[in-house]
Amino acid sequence: MKDSIKKEAIFNHSIDKVWNAISNGEEIAKWFINNNFKAEKGYEYTFTASEERGCLTITGEVKEANPYTLIYTWIVQDTNTETTVKWKLEELENGTKLHLEHSGISNYEGETAVNMFNSFSGGWAECIENLTKHLAL
Partner 1 sequence: MQDKFTKILKAISDPTRREIFHALILVTSALPINQIATNFNMTRQGVTKHLKVLENANLVTINSQGRERYCIANAKPLKEVNKWLQFYEQFWDDSLNNLGKYLDES
The residue (of 94 and 124) whose beta carbon lies closer to partner 1 is: 124
Instruction: Answer yes or no whether residue 75 interacts with partner 1 by CB under 8 A.
Output: no
Distances (CA, A) of 101 to 62, 74, 78, 126, 130: 15, 12, 23, 27, 25
Residues with Cβ within 8 Å of 67's Cβ and at least 6 positions away in sequence, in order, are 15, 16, 19, 89
Instruction: Answer yes or no whether residue 50 interacts with partner 1 by CB under 8 A.
Output: no
| Binding window for partner 1 (CB under 8 A); candidates: 34-42, 62-70, 96-104 | 96-104
| Binding window for partner 1 (CB under 8 A); candidates: 40-48, 65-73, 100-108 | 100-108
Dist. CA 64–CA 41, nearest whole Å: 5
Neighbours of 57 (CB within 10 A): 15
The residue (of 67 and 108) whose beta carbon lies closer to partner 1 is: 108
Which stretches of the chain bind partner 1, using CB under 8 A?
2, 5, 7, 9, 11, 13, 17-18, 21-22, 27, 30-32, 54-55, 76-81, 98, 100, 102, 105, 108-110, 112-113, 116-117, 120, 124, 126, 128, 130-132, 134-135, 137
